[in-house]
């Protein structure tokens, strides 16, 4: 089945209004911290909707530090201790809370709503074990997916890549007319390429613990194993002299402890430095991109891999797994390498070495690729889809690409 790509642009909807009036919009997300891709999308979309005159209420199941003023918790944490059951209860509570008083309900998980913006792949994968399938976690997650995707549902679904959405269509036989695949949701402000002198770049690298002229690799993520940090360290062990900057997670985080032990066992502990979480809109983030020579992203699973596109458009070539939804941007730009098949450290080392040998040209190609405004239109497109009348097909409001 062919899924519809959509792109932002001038639709029949005036800024901030639908049918001549602002909308009251509920956004449902289980939690807002830690701030990963889903959480960032929710907050960015809320900001854009409010800027267009809409009234936005974010509904969550868990409190977190710095919860925005327009957010409210709708599930009491004392009711259920088991997380999958809390997620099920949250889906029920969100549906109940949005029955009245809202023109639109938008979920950031696969659960019933007017619209869902999904960052996940289907939970119900064909290779799940029998024990997993009879467990409560499976029932909780798949129950939500069926309620959102099944033939009786009217939920319209926004996805981030074809690779992500095609399994949903195959598994649940969802009408492709209810699905739109968004363009990249990278913020335009993230593209800030730096033109540095040799002296400035040397100083930046020294400040990040990477002195000298040795290759500097960058890994970015909040989930070390999912995003392949252990794999990156295996490749590092085969690349004498190279250094690895780990951005997104602190050295004292419990998720990092097995990785730090691995670094010691591989003999690369002194060539790995954890930089902690760095917001992608900050000057420090762009200093790190400018200081590094390439992004290594040997992920095991990644619906998009937004960091890949953020790196490429800022002139940082990337070596990435083909499983990543945004790997296609590396191929299209010619700014890096996409590796197919099972992970092999030797093959990755060769790919990284080839990038380094042609780094200047690949960096220039990435910068040129980043001039395409469509790469930053995903959030604007999502706003148009949310504003569109629910009694009309999407293709009559937002142009197909």
Residue-by-residue pLDDT tens, the chain, 401 positions: 455 566 654 433 444 455 668 999 999 999 898 778 899 999 999 999 999 999 999 999 887 777 898 999 887 655 555 666 777 888 889 999 999 999 999 999 999 999 999 998 877 776 667 677 777 777 777 888 888 988 888 999 999 988 888 888 888 888 878 889 999 999 999 999 988 888 999 999 999 988 888 999 999 999 999 999 999 999 999 999 999 999 999 999 999 999 999 999 999 999 999 999 998 889 999 999 999 999 999 999 898 999 999 999 999 999 999 999 999 999 999 999 999 999 999 999 999 999 999 999 999 999 999 999 999 999 999 999 999 988 877 654 444 33
Structure tokens at 1: 């089945």
This prediction has a pTM of: 0.87
Q: Write the CATH number for 261.
A: 3.40.50.2000
CA-to-CA distance for 368 and 193, rounded, in angstroms? 11
Residue 100 and residue 113 share a domain: yes
Question: Do you find a cis peptide bond into 89, omega within 30 degrees of 0?
Answer: no
Structure tokens at 237: 């062990």
- CA 35 to chain CA centroid, Å, is 11
In the DSSP assignment, the letter for residue 189 is: G
Does residue 244 lie in a domain region? yes
Does residue 401 lie in a domain region? no
Does residue 134 lie in a domain region? yes
Structure tokens at 293: 């020579």
Does residue 243 lie in a domain region? yes
Structure tokens at 19: 């049918």
Does residue 341 lie in a domain region? yes
Q: Which residue has tokens 């497109």?
A: 381
- Tens-digit pLDDT profile for residues 286-328: 999 999 999 999 999 898 999 999 999 999 999 999 999 999 9
Does residue 168 lie in a domain region? yes
Does residue 212 lie in a domain region? yes
Residue 168 and residue 226 share a domain: no
Residue 384 and residue 366 share a domain: no
Number of domains present in the structure of the chain: 2
Side-chain-side CA neighbours of residue 277 (13 Å): 9
Distant-in-sequence contacts of 225-228, Cβ < 8 A, 24+ apart:
225/255, 225/300, 226/299, 226/300, 226/301, 226/302, 227/297, 227/299, 227/300, 227/302, 228/297, 228/298, 228/299, 228/300, 228/321, 228/343
Residue 231 and residue 117 share a domain: no
Residue 155 and residue 36 share a domain: yes
Residue 94 and residue 220 share a domain: no
Question: Domain limits at 62?
Answer: 4-183+377-396
Residue 206 and residue 128 share a domain: no
Residue 323 and residue 384 share a domain: no
Residue 78 and residue 141 share a domain: yes
Task: Describe the strand order of the beta sheet including 4-5 as a list of residue ranges.
Answer: 4-5, 179-181, 156-159, 115-117, 104-107, 24-28, 55-60, 71-73
Residue 388 and residue 367 share a domain: no
Instruction: Give the burial class of 43: count Cβ atoms within 10 A of its Cβ; 0-12 exposed, 13-18 middle, 19 or more buried.
Output: middle
Residue 122 and residue 205 share a domain: no
Residue 216 and residue 151 share a domain: no
In the DSSP assignment, the letter for residue 312 is: H
Does residue 141 lie in a domain region? yes
Q: Where are the alpha helices (DSSP H) in 238-371?
A: 257-266, 283-291, 306-313, 327-333, 345-357, 359-369
Buried b (16+ CB within 10 A) or exposed e, 297-307: bbbeebbbbbb
């Amino acid at each position: 089945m062919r899924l519809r790509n959509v792109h932002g642009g001038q639709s029949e909807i005036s800024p901030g209004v639908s049918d001549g009036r602002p909308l009251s919009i509920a956004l449902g997300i289980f939690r807002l911290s830690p701030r990963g891709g889903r959480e960032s999308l929710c907050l960015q979309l809320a900001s854009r909707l409010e800027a267009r005159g809409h009234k936005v209420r974010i509904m969550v199941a868990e409190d977190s530090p710095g919860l925005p003023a327009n957010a409210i918790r709708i599930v009491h944490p004392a009711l259920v201790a088991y997380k999958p059951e809390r997620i099920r209860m949250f889906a029920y509570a969100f549906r109940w809370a949005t029955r009245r008083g809202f023109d639109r309900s938008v979920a950031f998980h696969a659960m019933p709503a007017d619209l869902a913006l999904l960052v996940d792949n289907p939970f119900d994968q064909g290779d799940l074990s029998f024990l997993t399938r009879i467990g409560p976690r499976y029932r909780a997650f798949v129950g939500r997916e069926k309620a959102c995707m099944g033939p009786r549902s009217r939920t319209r679904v926004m996805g981030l890549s074809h690779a992500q959405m095609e399994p949903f269509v195959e598994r649940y036989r969802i009408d492709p007319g209810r699905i739109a695949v968004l363009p990249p949701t990278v913020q335009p402000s993230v593209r800030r390429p730096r033109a540095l002198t040799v002296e400035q770049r040397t100083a930046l690298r020294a400040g990040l613990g990477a002195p000298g002229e040795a290759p500097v690799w960058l890994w970015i993520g909040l989930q070390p194993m999912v995003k392949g940090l252990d794999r990156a360290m295996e490749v590092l062990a085969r690349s004498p002299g190279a250094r690895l900057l780990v951005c997104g997670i602190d050295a004292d985080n419990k998720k990092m402890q097995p990785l730090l032990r691995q670094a010691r066992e591989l003999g690369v502990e002194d060539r790995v430095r954890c930089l902690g979480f760095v917001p992608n809109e900050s000057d420090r983030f762009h200093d790190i991109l400018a200081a590094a020579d390439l992004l290594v992203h040997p992920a095991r699973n990644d619906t998009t891999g937004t960091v890949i596109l953020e790196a490429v458009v800022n002139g940082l070539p990337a070596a990435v797994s083909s499983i990543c939804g945004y790997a296609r941007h590396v191929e299209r730009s010619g700014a890096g390498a996409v590796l197919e098949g099972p992970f092999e450290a030797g093959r990755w080392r060769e790919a990284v070495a080839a990038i380094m040998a042609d780094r200047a040209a690949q960096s220039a190609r990435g910068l040129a690729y980043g001039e395409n405004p469509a790469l930053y239109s995903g959030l604007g497109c999502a706003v148009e889809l949310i504003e569109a009348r629910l009694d009309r097909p999407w293709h009559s409001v937002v142009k197909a690409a």
